[in-house]
Structure 1
Amino acid sequence: MATWSKAASSSSLIILAIFLLSLAGVAHGRSSRRLVRSYDEPCMEMRLYLHDILYDYSNSTSNSTSAAATRPTALSTAAPSAPAGGTFFGQVVVFNDPVTEGRRALPPALEETEVRAQGLYFYNGKEAYNAWFAFSVVFNSTARRGTLNLMGADIIAEKTRDVSVVGGTGDFFMARGVATLRTDAVEGFTYFRLQMDIKLYECYV
C-alpha cells in the first residue's frame, strides 16, 4: 500500500510540473507559436539603416552615438601596405546607434529612436582597413518588440558583406538568418550609414 502511494504521489508531481510548464509557456506568449524554417525563401525580410556618429573629441557629445573604448595599437601603422592614416588595428568602438527604416534625417532626440543597434565593433585588419561586429538590433515600438542579434566580419573593402543573425527575443524569438551590409554613406571618420538587408530563414510565428 505504501509503495502504491509513493508511485501515485510521484505521478501527481510529474503531472503538476507539466501543467505548470504549460502555464509558463502561455504566460510568455509562446504556446501558439510554430517554427517556420525555409532555406529557399526567407520567412521575414526587412531593410534598415544604421547611423553611427563617432565621438572624436571635437564634435558634440550630445549628438555622438559611439566612442572608441581603446586606442589603436602600433600594428595599425607598422605594416608596409598600411594606408597613411593607419588601419586602426586593435581599436574597439562601443555604440548605441539609431536605426531607421529609410535614409531619412535623424530625429533631434537620438535617444528616442524606437529602433537601436547596441554593441561593438573592433578593427582587426593589420594591413587593410577591416572590422568585426557584434550587436543587437533592439525594437521598442507598437509594431515590433524584441531583439535581433548579429555578428560577423565587416570586410569594409567589399561592396556588400554578410553577417549572421544568430538569435533573437520577443517578436524575433530564436530567429536565424543573414544580414547583408552595405556602406550607404560616409562622412570622414565621424559618420557612416549602413544599409542592412535582413533575411530570416528560421522564425517563430
Structure 2
Amino acid sequence: MSLADQADRVGRVQGWYGNCGQSTLTLCLAQTFAYNDSVYAGTLSLLGSGVASDPVKYAPIVGGTGDFAFCRGVAEQSRVFNAIVNSEENSWFHYNITLKY
C-alpha cells in the first residue's frame, strides 16, 4: 500500500524549494496545501525561507481559498524521513499548522 492509498488522506501539497542564501544554504519555500475532507475544503499557501540545516523550519501562511479564505498563521516543518526512490532523493515532512482567521 502506498502513502497515497491510505484512508486518512485529507489532501495534497505541491510546492517548490530553491536556494536563496549567499553564504549558507537557505531554502526559499513556496507551497500550497489543498484540503478536501468531510469538514474543510480549500487551500492554504505558505511562503518563507529557512536555513536548510535547521531541524525545524517556520513559514508564514500568507492566505488561502475556500474555507481558508483570508487566513493567516504559521507552519512548523520538521523532516521525518529521507529515502532514495527511483534514483531520486525524497523527503517526508511533518507539519504543525496554526491558523488565525
Q: Which residue of 2 aligns with 1:190?
A: 89
Q: Which residue of 2 aligns with 1:151?
A: 47
What aligned pairs does 1:35-114 form with structure 2 within 5 A after superposition? Answer: 106-108=3-5, 114=10
What letter corresponds to residue 176 of structure 1 in structure 2?
R
Q: Measure the CA separation in 2 of the matches of 1:192 and 1:119.
A: 13
Describe the superposition over 1:168-202 as per-residue Cα deviations: whole angstroms up to 9, x where unpaired.
111111110110111111124521011111011x2
Secondary structure at 2:4 match in 1: coil
Q: 1 or 2, which has the higher strand percentage? A: 2
Unaligned runs of 5+ in 2: none
Q: Measure the CA separation in 2 of the matches of 1:136 and 1:107.
A: 17
Q: 1 or 2, which has the higher helix percentage? A: 1
Percent identity between matched residues is 27
Using structure 2 for the length normalisation, give the TM-score. 0.78
Larger RCO (CA under 8 A, 6+ residues apart):
1
In the superposition, relative to structure 1, how do residues 125 and 187 fare at CA in structure 2: closer, same or farther (>3 Å)? farther
What aligned pairs does 1:176-187 form with structure 2 within 5 A after superposition? Answer: 176-187=72-83
Q: Measure the CA separation in 2 of the matches of 1:136 and 1:159.
A: 21
Q: Calculate the aligned-residue CA RMSD, in Å.
A: 2.2
The number of residues matched between the two structures is 95
Unaligned runs of 5+ in 1: 1-104
